[in-house]
Amino acid sequence: MLRSLKGLLCRPLKDRGFALHTAAKDRVSSLLTQDVQTAPERPRAVFYTNENDPANHAEQHEGRLYSIPLDELKTVFPHGLPYRFQQQIKTFNEACVMVRKPALELFTYLRNTNFAHPAVRYVIYGERGTGKTMTLCHLVHYCARQGWLVLHVPDAHLWVKNCRELLQSSYNKERLDQPLQASSWLKNFKTSNERFLKEIKTQKQYMWGRRDRTEAGRPLAEVVEQGLARVRNASDAVGVVLKELKQQSRLGPFRLLVAVDGVNALWGRTTLKKEDKSPVAPEELTLVHNLRKMLMNDWSGGAAVTTLSQTGALFKPSSAYLPQELLGKEGFDALDPFVPIPVPNYSPREFESCYQYYLQRKWLQHEKAHTEAGKEELRFLSGSNPRQLDRLAGPL
């Protein structure tokens, strides 16, 4: 059923012509010039690939690992990588990501999108620990290399739970602001997209409170600065940024990628409470409201890729992983139509390469782990689930 839906959506896009963006290609050169891996020479096993540009990843690279240079990591992923993966990067001193089929699918879709049409929404879903966030990160890296403007929300669940400060929004009396979350997001956004912020100009005048304002035609960086300086206005700054980007992506020289992890948080329930102990609905939060508007398909010139996540989800059973279950009726209707991308557990080949990677990095120290029997045992016990394998390999 899902396949046919994808087919229906893909074909019209493909038929309208392939979009080879020469503009995007030019961007590549202006980006960080080091495309070549400057790792020390050592014999790379079969499961590695030297192709470090995700744009060139094709089916022959499926199941292999490619590494991201560490300084690129800081700019492209100031936030957004899973915590365990960050620890692994620190341990191994390199960031190796596996090339998997869902990511390659997404690359083909993105390459063939017609940017004159409304933005297509993709929903990556799958069971717990199968690699949805990593797929999203792979995609973000690809788009960053291609020169897109990446709006990466690492975990939307952080915005609906564990929030200490809730301020009443100055812009709209009914809504609530979250200054801390907004300011941290703005900071990371700035790190990843600095050069864009200088080039994009605001189209309207914005008033911050009674005294400050930003004129039309000023670079967006100023809005971001305003948000960072005045933490009270951070959420509104985020809203402004989102609105501007939405309007300008259609005409502007850049492509916009909206990458949201844990999108089911936007339509679920929150654990936040107002001062009178009444629960807060997600629409009452400024950040959530603005992000929802962003995910509507009324803008063009980019794509929106989202991930469902049960791990941080509130009030949802742990066996739920399908879009219908996690998004709820409201979310499903809001995101409909979307392209669902399922992410399965490791295939035998992918499992093999992950196992070889751990062996090669001397992560598996147990003497039995090197044997064939040990590999079978790991495969059985982890059920070829990436997260389980990672957790199992830890103590070994």
Partner 1 sequence: MDGPRALASPSLCGQGTVAAGMAVAVGRVLQLGSRWGAAAPGVQTLRLICTTTARQRKNVGASGPEKYTEAFIKNQIEEFNLGKRHLANMMGEDPETFTQEDIDKAIAYLFPSGLFDKKARPMMKHPTEIFPEQRKIQWGEDGRPFHFLFYTGKQSYYSLMHETYEKLLNAQKYQDQLIAQDLPPQKKKRNLAGSRWLTKIELEEMLLEKLSDNDYSRFILLLEKLMTLPCGDTEEKYVQKFSKEVPVQLQKVVIEPLKYDERGVAFSTGEGGRKTARATAVVYDNGTGKITVNGIDILHYFPVLQDREQLLFPFQFLDRVGKHDMVCTVSGGGRSAQAGAIRLASAKALRSFVTEKEVEFMRQAGLLTPDPRVKERKKPGQEGARRKFTWKKR
Q: Give the binding site for partner 1 (CB under 8 A).
A: 127, 319, 373, 376-377, 379-381, 383, 385, 388, 392
Q: How far is the CB of 264 from partner 1 (least distance, A)?
A: 19
- By the 8 A CB rule, do 266 and 156 touch? yes
**Sequence-distant (≥ 6) Cβ neighbours of residue 29 within 8 angstroms:** none
Q: How far is the CB of 33 from partner 1 (least distance, A)?
A: 44
CB atoms < 10 A from the CB of 30, how many?
9
In terms of CB distance, is 276 or 372 closer to partner 1?
Answer: 372
Q: How far is the CB of 373 from partner 1 (least distance, A)?
A: 7
In terms of CB distance, is 247 or 388 closer to partner 1?
Answer: 388
Q: How far is the CB of 384 from partner 1 (least distance, A)?
A: 9
In terms of CB distance, is 11 or 368 closer to partner 1?
Answer: 368
Q: How far is the CB of 182 from partner 1 (least distance, A)?
A: 36
Q: How far is the CB of 381 from partner 1 (least distance, A)?
A: 5
In terms of CB distance, is 35 or 377 closer to partner 1?
Answer: 377
Q: How far is the CB of 323 from partner 1 (least distance, A)?
A: 18
**Alpha-carbon 378 to chain mean position:** 29
In terms of CB distance, is 292 or 316 closer to partner 1?
Answer: 316
In terms of CB distance, is 127 or 350 closer to partner 1?
Answer: 127
In terms of CB distance, is 31 or 392 closer to partner 1?
Answer: 392
Q: How far is the CB of 332 from partner 1 (least distance, A)?
A: 23
In terms of CB distance, is 14 or 379 closer to partner 1?
Answer: 379
- In angstroms, the CA 274 to CA 277 distance is 5
Q: Write the CA distances from 94 to 82, 87, 141, 209, 361, integer angstroms.
A: 15, 11, 15, 46, 10
Whether the link from the prior residue into 69 is cis, omega within 30° of 0, is no
Q: How far is the CB of 396 from partner 1 (least distance, A)?
A: 12
In terms of CB distance, is 159 or 351 closer to partner 1?
Answer: 351
- In angstroms, the CA 24 to CA 287 distance is 30
In terms of CB distance, is 135 or 384 closer to partner 1?
Answer: 384
Q: How far is the CB of 392 from partner 1 (least distance, A)?
A: 7
